């Protein structure tokens, strides 16, 4: 497995989840999520990937996750976000060479910004861990609010944690 296929696996997990929940569940404002929805977490993950992949294709690739679009349709329409995830799964299926990128990000709420050198594979590793983190939050919400929705036991669990749990005690 490589970094691209690992990210494909996580996107497939997310896609499979989206196909199992209703729009009402996807868009329900949940107290456990501070009034937010599962859809907002899914949109957040999808847009981080989208922003990285669009930056990758630019002549001077700058990744600025803070500048993502925040499309409300991705958090209210499971079919729309599913189409986007399918698009990125296909995009990731092609061998993508590593390339240098610039990462621009906020240092504070006052607008201080920083630019760092990074690369595509490093940002894929970040997106992988970021997605797992949000899947864990989604899992908490689903377990507490929608117990009829079944999740894979490893949904939202870091790969290192799965490996640790599988070790003989």
pLDDT in tens, 37-94: 999 999 999 999 999 999 999 999 999 999 998 999 999 999 999 999 999 999 999 9
Mapping DSSP onto H, E and C, the string for the chain reads CCHHHHHHHHHHHHHHHHHHCCHHHHHCCCHHHCCCCHHHHHHHHHHHHHHHHHHHCCCCCEECHHHCCCCCHHHHCHHHHHHHHHHHHHHHHCCCCCCEEEEEEECCCCCCEEEEEEEHHHHHHHHHHHHHHHHHHHHHHHHHHCCCCCCCCCCCCCHHHHHHHCCCC
Give pLDDT, residue 30: 98
Res 159 pLDDT > 90: no
What are the backbone angles phi and psi of residue 40, rounded to the nearest 5°? -65, -40
Res 13 pLDDT > 80: yes
Give pLDDT, residue 64: 96
Centroid of chain to Cα 57: 19
User: Under 8 Å CB-to-CB from 105, ≥6 apart: which residues?
Assistant: 64, 65, 66, 113, 114, 116
pLDDT digits (tens, 9 = 90+) for 88-143: 999 999 989 999 999 999 999 998 999 999 999 999 999 999 999 999 999 999 99
pTM: 0.93
Number of domains making up the chain: 1
More confident position, 98 or 167:
98
Res 162 pLDDT > 80: no
Confidence at 164, pLDDT banded by 50, 70, 90: confident
Confidence at 9, pLDDT banded by 50, 70, 90: very high
- Sheet with 62-63, strands from edge to edge, namely 62-63, 100-106, 113-119
| In contact, 23 and 78? CB cutoff 8 Å | yes
Rg, C-alpha atoms of the chain: 17
Give pLDDT, residue 168: 87
CATH number of the domain where residue 99 is located: 1.20.120
Range of the domain at 72: 3-165
């Amino acid at each position: 497995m490589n970094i691209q296929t690992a990210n494909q696996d996580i996107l497939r997990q997310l896609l499979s989840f989206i196909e199992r929940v209703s729009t009402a569940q996807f868009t329900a404002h949940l107290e456990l999520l501070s009034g937010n929805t599962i859809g907002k977490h899914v949109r957040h993950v999808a847009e981080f990937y989208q922003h990285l992949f669009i930056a990758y294709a630019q002549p001077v690739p700058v990744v600025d996750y803070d500048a993502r679009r925040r499309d409300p349709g991705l958090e209210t329409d499971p079919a729309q976000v599913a189409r986007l995830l399918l698009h990125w799964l296909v995009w990731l299926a092609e061998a993508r060479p590593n390339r240098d990128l610039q990462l621009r990000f906020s240092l504070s709420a006052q607008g201080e910004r920083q630019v760092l050198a990074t690369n595509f594979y490093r940002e894929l590793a970040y997106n992988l861990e970021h997605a797992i983190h949000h899947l864990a939050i989604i899992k908490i919400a689903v377990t507490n609010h929608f117990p009829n929705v079944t999740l894979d036991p490893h949904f939202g669990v870091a790969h290192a944690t799965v490996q640790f749990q599988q070790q003989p005690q």
